[in-house]
Amino acid sequence: MTVEEIERLTAWCASAGIGEIELAEAGFSLRLLVQSVVAPTPVAATEAPKAETVFKGVRAPGVGVFRLDHPTTGRSVAAPGQMVRKGETVGVLQVGPCLKAVLAPADGVLGAALAEDGAVVGYGTPLYELV
């Protein structure tokens, strides 16, 4: 990789909110830790601060292929409308031959899947609403 390609990759990661990425090939490896510094935006005295919408649900724990059905059993891991407990597996993230459980961050009722089975997702991608 050239310096320009690394700079471009770093910029893409920063704009996508990805804080860490590691690439490895035969004879080459690269690990980037992106630290973004955000300068506060001044708010005029007459402007009210905008309310931010905070997503309360299940997010991808990393980069990979999201699976609604477990790749080894073919059975659905969880279904919309299902009551789940904090730490319960609600999906699977597949990274090559490795599988990582997608866990519910809190107790609640699982909403509809926000990502399709087989979708490539990034770290923090919303996968399910949790109500």
Tell me, yes or no, whether 18 and 77 share the same domain.
no
107 and 66 belong to one structural domain: yes
Q: 45 in a domain, yes or no?
A: no
Per-residue pLDDT tens listing for the chain (131 residues):
677 777 777 777 776 777 777 777 777 788 777 665 455 555 555 555 565 566 788 999 888 999 998 888 888 899 889 999 999 999 999 988 889 999 999 999 999 889 999 999 988 899 999 88
Same domain, 25 and 63: no
**Structural contact between residues 111 and 80, judged by C-beta atoms closer than 8 angstroms:** yes
Q: Are residues 67 and 124 in the same domain?
A: yes
Q: Taking CA 25 as the corner, what is the angle to CA 123 and CA 63, rounded to the nearest 5 degrees?
A: 10
Same domain? 65 vs 120:
yes
Q: Tell me the residue range of the domain where 119 lies.
A: 57-130
The two three-digit tokens of residue 16, written as one number: 């996508």
Which domain CATH number covers 97? 2.40.50.100
* Number of compact structural domains in the chain: 2
